[in-house]
A and B are shown apart, each in its own frame.
Chain A
Amino acid sequence: MRLAMRQWMHLVGRDVGLAIRQGSDATMAVFFFVLAAMLFPFGVGPEPNILARIAPGILWVSALLATLLSLDRLFQADHDDGSLEQLWLAGLPLEAVALAKTTAHWLITGLPLMVAAPLVAIGLNLGSEGFGVLVLSLLLGTPALSLIGSVGAALTVGARRGGVLIALLVLPLEVPVLIFATGAMDQALAGLAARSHLMLLGAILAAALPLAPLAAAAALRQALE
């Protein structure tokens, strides 16, 4: 058991290392997030009150799209060069491989977003009560986005133009995360308790954590046959 855990950690480390080595993969999501969020002041005008009102939505929609960006490479790259079947043959269950790659995806996209989001929020004139909840909602929400996205990524392995297909598959499933995350921030900005929304976000994460790797592994098994 401890050996399997160590194998799993090595797999996560390998993926994070590869992404950092490639550079663009690791920084693309966070740059996209900053740029997309910064487009809104140009689009809706620099009126501070309007920006403050729509800041939760801007931040979360931008974050959601940013995590979507690198999903198509999650399994595709390893599938194309034969690494994926070698990873499976290394003796880890395919579910563990899927979870390891999803964890690495979150570490290189979700985690940087949590660091960048408060800075972007300043630019959007987010009320000071919202900052804590923003980071908390990202902490609970972005892992759920990576997990749900991993199912879409696994289903489209081997498909042509998989990137567009992933967006169509995954975006409807990610709507609840968006609703509860922005709901939590709106509550906090209105001076109310955001606890219930955050707990629902946590529930989504708790459900996705075991279920998404199962579904992703089933899809990968089909792709590897």
Chain B
Amino acid sequence: MTERFEGADVTCRRGNRLVFAGLDFALPPGGALVLTGANGTGKTSLLRLMAGLLPPWRGRLGWSGGTIADDLDHHHRRVRLIGHLDAVKPGLTALETLCAWGHLVDRAGAANRSGAGADADTESGVMTQAESALAWFGLEPLAEVPGRYLSAGQKRRLALARLLMGAAPLWLLDEPSNALDRAALGRLEAAIARHRGSGGLVVLSTHADWRPPDALTLDLNRFQVAGAGGWAADWSVGAGTGAGADADAGKGPRP
């Protein structure tokens, strides 16, 4: 995989509020980007923009030369988004949750990328992959346990195990360390390292101190629009260098 992911002048507007403006980033193959910033600075919004769930109000998100807005459904297949919600059904066991997901994701594309044969698409292929994904996050004792009996951390691990189903080049993780214990965090770090080793890209938001090795950092505090909640008269604020825009300066009360 030699994909690049970049954004130029990305501006996000939710309702009447400009969440952030003039944001630029570029991720080389195997790169990792850590989003930091105070609550409400738009980390989740940026991840949803990157996933193509939300169109940018201005600016452009590009993938290996193309623009993701040109073919959103195709971009969705490139993305694994693990958000705040774990998408674990109370009635499905952990193994069933992963198998259902494995059948849904575009496995033909995954097989082409990994060079595996078409037989990876069979029932047993999905099952094997789901079992190894469960084992990676230490969930194999819980494979037959329905989602309603899982703890918050276990649900989180099950949501993260979805990353290992199929092969998507871009992982978007919204505060993945929430509710994880130290061992699970280690497994997540290992998964991220393996993913980056094969040329995959990772974007994650975090409040905690941990981050992948030699990751780029994007501080969303720097891209806040002065007088938040209104229209920015001066766009150059968005390109600020961060010298005076750190902490909560320039961010008025939220509407």
A residues contacting B by CB (< 8 A) are 3, 6-7, 10-11, 14, 18, 21-22, 80-83, 85-93, 224-225
Contacts and interface: CB of A to CB of B under 8 A. Distances in A.
Contacts of B104: 7, 10-11, 14, 87, 90, 92
Contacts of B88: 81
Interface string B69-99: 0000110110111011111110110000000
12 contacts: A7-B104, A14-B104, A81-B86, A81-B87, A83-B89, A86-B162, A88-B53, A89-B77, A89-B79, A89-B80, A90-B77, A225-B53
A89 B51 contact: yes
The 10 A-B residue pairs with the shortest CB-CB distance, nearest first, are A82-B85, A91-B77, A82-B87, A90-B104, A10-B103, A21-B91, A83-B87, A91-B106, A89-B76, A86-B87
B1 interface: no
A117 to B, nearest CB: 28
Interface of B: 51, 53-54, 73-74, 76-77, 79-81, 83-89, 91-92, 100-101, 103-108, 162
Contact of B100 (A3, A10, A22): A10
Nearest to A4: B106
Nearest to A82: B85
Nearest to A9: B103
Given A10-B100, A18-B89, A21-B92, A93 B83 contact: no
A3 B105 CA distance: 10
Given A81-B85, A89-B79, A90-B104, 6 more contacts: A80-B85, A81-B88, A86-B162, A88-B76, A90-B77, A91-B73
A90 B76 contact: yes
**Which of B74, B86, B87, B92 has most A Cβ within 10 Å?**
B87
B73 A93 contact: yes
A18 B91 contact: yes
Given A81-B87, A82-B85, A18 B101 contact: no
A93 B52 CA distance: 13
Contacts of B84: 82
